[in-house]
Amino acid sequence: MARTRRAFFCGNWKLNGSIAESLALATDVRNGVSSVRDVDVAVAPSFTALHAVAKRLEDGPVMVAAQDCFWEEKGAFTGEVAPSQLADAGCKLVIVGHSERRQLFGELDAAVNLKARAALRAGLTPIICIGETLAERDAGETLGRIQAQLDGALADMTDAELERIVIAYEPVWAIGTGRNATPAQAQEVHHFIRSRLAMRAATLAPKLRILYGGSVKADNIRALMAEEDVDGGLVGGASLSAESFIRLVKEGSAS
């Protein structure tokens, strides 16, 4: 069955790579995926490598994402980076609300909302991450947690803004653990997310892309992509090797 939404895979390189290493990885990824059709691909290097990587990739087809941003445009906010600065560096997207930001740096839904809206104002696509912990899943709170995170992140967004977002469902217990959600577990939550989105904007919800993240690899992406509401992947570990990420993009877009 033909996909109704274009597949999208984004590699999240986290805190890895010198500028030279990032350029080499980006170049290999670009060369490896440039012949793959009907797919969007992005990589998210560290801040220090963003500009160099964006320059290297400026002729496409691989886009550059930042891993985080602040919500203010300028001022006395030592250490922060504004979305317009990311756009200036060549980014097209920015990841917001990653569970590592939430868990290690205390980021709350209200901050994720401010970041996503600031990103939209700067012309960037926010990839908004949501996901439950293992304790929440075991306590039967998965969908309640997802609903709260989603509603918090999307508060006060207009339909025109909603149309430009990407959601990433990333169960915290599956990130970097080698333990991915089963396709059925992913589909249950993706379907729930899309139905919540439909309550906000019925005509937009079928068009919005919902990525799955959490130990995605070339070997498991096909089964995940076979689910109706899984539109791609946010990929950590498997994006740090060009060979494994290229294979994943090929497998995922072929399914």
| Look-up of token digits 């509603």 | 151
Q: Which of 98, 100, 107, 251 is catalytic?
A: 98
**Binding track, positions 209-238, relative to ligand PEP; x by CB under 6 A:** ----xxxx-----------------xxxxx
Q: Which of 107, 132, 170, 227 is catalytic?
A: 170
Position 185 contacts ligand PEP (CB under 6 A): no
Residue ranges of E strands in 45-147: 62-66, 93-96, 125-130
Pull the structure tokens for residue 248: 């994943």
57/175 with CB nearer ligand PEP = 175
**DSSP for 13-72?**
--S---HHHHHHHHHHHHHHHTT--SEEEEEE--HHHHHHHHHHTTTSSEEEEES---S-
CB under 6 A: which stretch of 159-167, 190-198, 207-215, 224-232 binds ligand PEP?
207-215
**Binding track, positions 11-50, relative to ligand PEP; x by CB under 6 A:** -x--------------------------------------
Position 132 contacts ligand PEP (CB under 6 A): no
Give, as one character, the DSSP assignment of residue 140: T
CB distance 232 to 8 below 8 Å: yes
Instruction: Find the helix or strand (DSSP H, E) in which 87 lies.
Output: helix 83-88
85/99 with CB nearer ligand PEP = 99
Can 98 be counted among the known catalytic residues? yes
Position 130 contacts ligand PEP (CB under 6 A): no
Whole-number Å distance between alpha carbons of 62 and 188: 30
Position 170 contacts ligand PEP (CB under 6 A): yes
Cα angle 117, 127, 255; round to 5: 150
205/223 with CB nearer ligand PEP = 223
* CB of residue 214 to ligand PEP, shortest distance in Å: 5
Give residues in contact with ligand PEP (CB under 6 A).
12, 170, 175-176, 213-216, 234-238
List the catalytic residues.
Answer: 98, 170
